[in-house]
Chains A and B, each alone.
Chain A
Amino acid sequence: MSQATPAIHVDDLRKRFRTTQALDGVSLDIQPGEFFGLLGPNGAGKTTLISILAGLTRADSGQAAIMGHDVVRDYRQARRALGVVPQELVYDPFFNVRETLRIQSGYFGLKHNDGWIDEIMHHLDLAQHADKNTQSLSGGMKRRLLVAQALVHKPPVIVLDEPTAGVDVDLRRSLWEFISRLNREGHTILLTTHYLEEAEALCGRIAMLKSGRVVACDTTRNLLQLTNEHCAQLRLDRDDVPVVWQDRLLRDAEGSWRINFSEYLELETLLADLRGAGVRVTEMHLQEPDLEDVFTDIMKRT
């Protein structure tokens, strides 16, 4: 990792809400240009962490900074550097799309922002809805407007709190294309999501939270290697598998056999033994470990 100022710096954050310890000493550094994933079950503290970064919640102790600006002491610079797409689908029913974006620009002290507003509306397919009242927008369009609002001030750091919850496939894809482009252009992205395949495909690094603590934080590739449990599913023409394999091979309801293994050598040996016993393999599927396995594993272990 470089020595440059981290895009997001979090040091020993703690936050308690009445009876629950939402954050219990979270430390993280996210470097400029990263696409970073924050995963964890409901109630793990993801939204609390994001709220502290955004200044919506105040930490009991610890520090947080955006591009080197403390979120409490230098809140103006910190908030100027941060764009947040909130989890809730919120909108102000008094205004239309263009008014909403102009007003939001104004809050950041931007006077002549129509050029950029037009550009983000274009990229998010909002242009044809510019004069519609926000109340009449579909859920997907409201979500896009929230993304647009988070971008009016061209923040170098963008936080997306479960942006694809309840969003249809098309919008999800176009949203990710757009966010990935922003990331390629140098924006730092912090994402929380429940869709682990999304995190796996998009994020370079991932932190996992559980009960207010970071239980794993590594590159997506390294995390995937934590589990070397591969799985093969076989269909055989006969049922008499060699005795030495009877403990390892599991019969499922549909008559297929499953085997979990960590080295491909084991699979080779199995196939050779089957052949020696005169059993023919009629079908075979291999399952590589995915983030879901790692996630489930880590959540169980910790």
Chain B
Amino acid sequence: MNGFLALFYKELLRFWKVVVQTVVAPVVTALLYLLIFSHVLEAHVEVYPGVSYTSFLVPGLVMMSMLQNAFSNSSSSLIQSKMQGNIVFVLLPPLSYLEFFLAYLGAAILRGLIVGLGVWVVTLWYAPFQLPHPVWLLAYALLACAIMAAVGIVAGIWAEKYDQLAAFQNFLILPLTFLSGVFYSIHSLPPFWQAVSRVNPVFYLIDGFRYAFVGQSDTDPGLGLLVAGACFVAISALTLMLLKSGYKLRH
């Protein structure tokens, strides 16, 4: 086991020890969203022709859960370690900044995927199984979790108090995920808000991911993947730069 594997294992063990909070709870939350929204809107809304509202909603909920949990895993692990002071256990050993990055990233991706899978499985009772484009699903799921895992690392390193991390989560991550077409198609929005949605990268993640499930989308899923890939490269470069410089970790 080299240093990277040890840190990756520690990060997995960390969220697995509180699995009710880190996996079960978000699955239940997503299920509640599904029950409420599909109950209210199923009879009234048909976003795409031939696609029930529940079938439209499920991919959005799966993606939203993945995004939030991937972010939550790396950011809360880092802020907790910093507040507790046990971040030194990771800073004292001969771990490179790349190993540090990959371990936190990998564990957060895995948590995102596990939660996403959990949400999908429980929603199978409400929406029929369909998956016309499994490769798109995999690509979008991985990229989305990776982007948010990296954003979580940046937030966890930047935040000096739980309060600041909560602000990051509530005023940036939550609006970005909610206002990205989880519950609606952006074509239903007025032109201004449609344009705003198109600069929200999370919109492309949800739209493309939905394409994998229902075979229809608001934009070209290929373009979405390009946007997602570019976002991942950019946020990773930023994260690696911060880690290399020791920003807020090595004073």
Which among B2-10, B27-35, B200-208 touches the partner chain?
A: B2-10
Contacts of A12 in B (CB 8 A): none
**CB–CB A108/B85 < 8 A:** no
From the candidates B13, B14, B17, B251, name the one contacting A57 in the complex (CB within 8 A). B251
Cross-interface CB contact of B89 among A17, A51, A107, cutoff 8 Å: A107
Once the chains bind, are A108 and B94 in contact (CB under 8 Å)?
A: yes
A90: Cβ under 8 A from any B Cβ: yes
Q: Given A106-B3, A111-B1, is A79 in contact with B13 using a C-beta cutoff of 8 Å? A: no
Contact B3 A90 (CB under 8 A): no
Q: Mark contacts of A265-285 with chain B using CB atoms, 8 A cut-off: 1 yes-contact digit, 0 otherwise.
A: 000000000000000000000
- Partner pick for A106 among B6, B86, B91, B96, CB 8 A cutoff: B6
A55 is contacted by which of B5, B17, B85, B250 (Cβ under 8 Å)?
B250
Q: Which residue of B lies closest to A99 (CB)?
A: B13
Which chain A residue has the least Cβ–Cβ distance from B77? A94
With A56-B250, A56-B251, A57-B250 known to touch, is A107 a contact of B6 (CB < 8 Å)? yes
Chain B, residue nearest A15 (CB) = B251
A58-B246, A107-B6 known; A80-B94 Cβ under 8 A: yes
Within 8 A of B (CB), among A62-104: 75-77, 79-80, 82, 84, 86, 88, 90-95, 99, 103-104
For window 66-125 of B, CB contacts with A under 8 Å fall at 81, 84-86, 88-96
- Complex CA–CA separation, A61 to B6 (angstroms): 33
The answer to whether B17 and A149 touch across the interface, beta carbons within 8 angstroms, is no
Interface size band for B: 20 to 34
Contacting residues, chain B, for A79 (C-beta < 8 A): 92-94
Residues in A neighbouring B7, C-beta threshold 8 A: 106-107
Identify which of B17, B18, B95 contacts A107 (C-beta below 8 A): B95
The A149-170 residues at the B interface (CB cut-off 8 A) are 149, 153
For the complex, give the distance between the alpha carbons of A75 and B2 in Å. 16
**A-side contacts of B1, CB under 8 Å:** 106, 109-111
Known: A56-B250, A58-B250. A84 touches B86 (CB 8 A): no
Residues of A in contact, count (CB < 8 Å) = 34
Q: Return the chain A residue nearest B249 by Cβ.
A: A56
Q: Cβ of B251: which chain A residues have Cβ within 8 Å of it?
A: 17, 51, 56-58
A57 vs B92: C-alpha distance in the bound complex, in angstroms? 11
> Once the chains are docked, how many angstroms separate the CA of A110 from the CA of B89?
15
Known contacts: A56-B251, A57-B251, A104-B89. The answer to whether A75 contacts B94 by CB under 8 A is yes
Q: Which residue from chain A places its CB closest to the CB of B17 in the assembled complex? A: A94
CA distance A80 to B93 in the complex (A): 7
Is the beta-carbon distance between B89 and A76 smaller than 8 angstroms?
no
Q: Which of A76, A90, A107, A108 contacts B86 (CB 8 A)?
A: A90
Q: Which of B6, B84, B250 contacts A92 (CB 8 A)?
A: B84
1/0 per position for A191-227, CB-CB distance to B under 8 A? 0000000000000000000000000000000000000
Q: Which residues of B contact A44 (CB under 8 A)?
A: none
A259 is an interface residue with CB less than 8 A from chain B: no
Contacts of A153 in B (CB 8 A): 93
- What B residues does A17 contact at CB under 8 A? 251
Q: How far is the CB of B130 from chain A (nearest CB, A)?
A: 39
Chain B, residue nearest A78 (CB) = B94
Residues of B1-56 at the interface with A, using a CB-CB cut-off of 8 Å, are 1-3, 5-7, 9-10, 13-14, 17-18
Nearest Cβ on chain B to A18's Cβ, whole angstroms: 11
| Known interface pairs A80-B94, A107-B89; 7 further A-B residue pairs with C-beta atoms within 8 A, sorted by A's residue number | A51-B251, A56-B91, A95-B13, A106-B7, A107-B90, A109-B6, A149-B89
Mark B residues whose CB is within 8 Å of A.
1-3, 5-7, 9-10, 13-14, 17-18, 81, 84-86, 88-96, 246, 250-251
Q: What are 25 of the A-B contact pairs (CB < 8 Å)?
A: A55-B92, A55-B250, A56-B88, A58-B246, A58-B250, A58-B251, A79-B92, A80-B94, A82-B92, A88-B85, A90-B85, A91-B86, A94-B13, A94-B17, A95-B10, A95-B13, A103-B9, A104-B93, A106-B3, A106-B6, A106-B10, A107-B90, A107-B94, A109-B6, A153-B93
